[in-house]
Amino acid sequence: MSAVPQRGALVDRFGRVHRDLRISLTDRCSLRCTYCMPAEGVPWLAKDNLLTTDELERVARVAASLGIVEVRLTGGEPLLRRDVVDVVRRMSRIEGIDGPLEVSMTTNGLRLGELAPDLAAAGLARVNISIDTLRRDRFAELTRRDRLDDVLEGIDAAQAAGFAPLKLNAVPMRGVNEDELVDLVRFAVDRGAEMRFIEQMPLDAGHIWSRVEMIRGEEILDALRGAFRLTPIGERGAAPAERFLVDDGPATVGVIASVTAPFCGACDRVRLTADGQLRNYLFAREEDDLLPLLRGDATDDDLAELMRRCIVGKRAGHGIDDEGFLQPDRPMSAIGG
Ligand code: SAM
Ligand code: SF4
């Protein structure tokens, strides 16, 4: 067991400095994407265990004092949280080591039509919106809700609110949307957004993921190369996406090959679930529970120590390719993607 540093930044045993905190605001969702949730949803987290906004703000403040510079709000669907605008406002006022925290969000976009201007005014800097298909019937099948028009309205609202760069996320799936990759890139390019394709990961509550069936990053690139000239954009640092200029730019596209080309060596992320569990990586099977500390008489130093302990225990990589790989007990919607 490595000693836990008593002070300083969130650095793990491999020298990775953690700057990015992903906070799940709720495990609930307005969609039921097949790769994420079963039709009937999942057993929801107990309401009493969900972090209050004061508790979220406190965790973010302590994290900022330890070198976290970006907070990404996610879920479940973060826009289902009633006071989401207030959460954004409070987070974006927290001073980090380089100035105020940068607050971004990953959302299914359904409520952006209504909320985008308020979120922008509250300090939200950037949004990633998930859109796996542009076809209404497919969308209804894939998400089990007929809400494509709301997502499209959300994307327009995000553009109008000035979130930049605007990123659109899709998970390519065989026999589902694999024939739409080029259309999705064109759709994004037309809106000045970056399309990002994410390899499907074994994080679905229904356990439908299959290594054989999943569409690999290389396949995604091959499909795109049939329609566009792709030029790699050099260094990606800690960013998960390998990015390319589309037809010499300025449009870009990204591929996140978490399964076949993991980027764990540069990972600077730590996650906080809606019920106060710190997870040092997406596939973690163990969590550090902040809830008793937040609701007991723990000091900020106690919280900081637990955060450091969590980071020190981080593994080198996710090991999806290891023989003994076990899917985490929590589905993606309850971890915070
Ligand atoms: N509800 C929001 C949304 O869909 O953008 C935020 C939470 S969702 C868990 C965050 C991202 O994770 C989405 O882009 C979604 O497509 C992605 N995701 C969910 N399950 C996944 C899986 N099994 N493999 C890869 N990506 C997944
Ligand atoms: Fe909801 Fe996002 Fe999961 Fe789809 S991917 S079910 S929108 S949490």
Q: Is residue 7 part of a domain?
A: no
Neighbouring C-alpha atoms within 13 Å toward the C-beta of 297 = 0
Counting ligands in written order, which one lies closest to the CA of residue 147?
Answer: 2
Q: Is residue 59 part of a domain?
A: yes
pLDDT band, very low/low/confident/very high, at 324 (cuts 50, 70, 90): low
Provide the domain limits for residue 225: 20-335
Q: Is residue 139 part of a domain?
A: yes
Give me the percent of the chain exceeding a pLDDT of 70: 93
253 by DSSP, 3-state: which? strand
pLDDT score at 238? 67
pLDDT band, very low/low/confident/very high, at 42 (cuts 50, 70, 90): confident
Q: Is residue 13 part of a domain?
A: no
Query: Distance between CA atoms of 87 and 118, rounded to whole angstroms?
Result: 12
Q: Is residue 329 part of a domain?
A: yes
Name the residue with the closest Cα to ligand 1, atom 17. Answer: 337
Strand bridging mode 269-272 / 277-279: antiparallel
Q: Is residue 199 part of a domain?
A: yes
Pick the atom of ligand 2 nearest to 37's CA. 6
pTM assigned to the model:
0.94
Kindly give the distance from the C-alpha atom of residue 1 to the centroid of ligand 1, in angstroms, as a whole number. Answer: 33
Query: Distance between CA atoms of 210 and 203, rounded to whole angstroms?
Result: 11
Is 335 a pocket residue for ligand 2 (Cβ < 6 Å)?
Answer: no
Is 33 a pocket residue for ligand 2 (Cβ < 6 Å)?
Answer: yes
Pick the atom of ligand 2 nearest to 143's CA. 4
Q: Is residue 45 part of a domain?
A: yes
Q: Is residue 294 part of a domain?
A: yes
Counting ligands in written order, which one lies closest to the CA of residue 132?
Answer: 1
Name the more confident of 296 and 337: 296
Number of domains in the chain: 1
Is 37 a pocket residue for ligand 2 (Cβ < 6 Å)?
Answer: yes
Name the residue with the closest Cα to ligand 2, atom 3. Answer: 36
Pick the atom of ligand 2 nearest to 29's CA. 1
Is 34 a pocket residue for ligand 1 (Cβ < 6 Å)?
Answer: no
Is 254 a pocket residue for ligand 2 (Cβ < 6 Å)?
Answer: no
Counting ligands in written order, which one lies closest to the CA of residue 25?
Answer: 1
Specify the CATH number for the domain of residue 85: 3.20.20.70
Name the residue with the closest Cα to ligand 2, atom 4. Answer: 33
Kindly give the distance from the C-alpha atom of residue 8 to the centroid of ligand 1, in angstroms, as a whole number. Answer: 32
User: Which contacts (CB < 8 Å, 24+ apart) does range 11-17 have?
Assistant: 11/311, 12/280, 12/311, 12/312, 12/314, 13/312, 13/314, 14/265, 14/314, 14/316, 16/265, 16/266, 16/267, 16/268, 16/314, 17/67, 17/268
pLDDT band, very low/low/confident/very high, at 1 (cuts 50, 70, 90): very low
Residue 249: C-alpha distances to residues 193, 253, 297 (Å) = 12, 10, 54
pLDDT for residue 13 is more than 60: yes
pLDDT for residue 140 is more than 80: yes
Is 130 a pocket residue for ligand 1 (Cβ < 6 Å)?
Answer: yes
pLDDT band, very low/low/confident/very high, at 175 (cuts 50, 70, 90): very high
pLDDT band, very low/low/confident/very high, at 322 (cuts 50, 70, 90): low
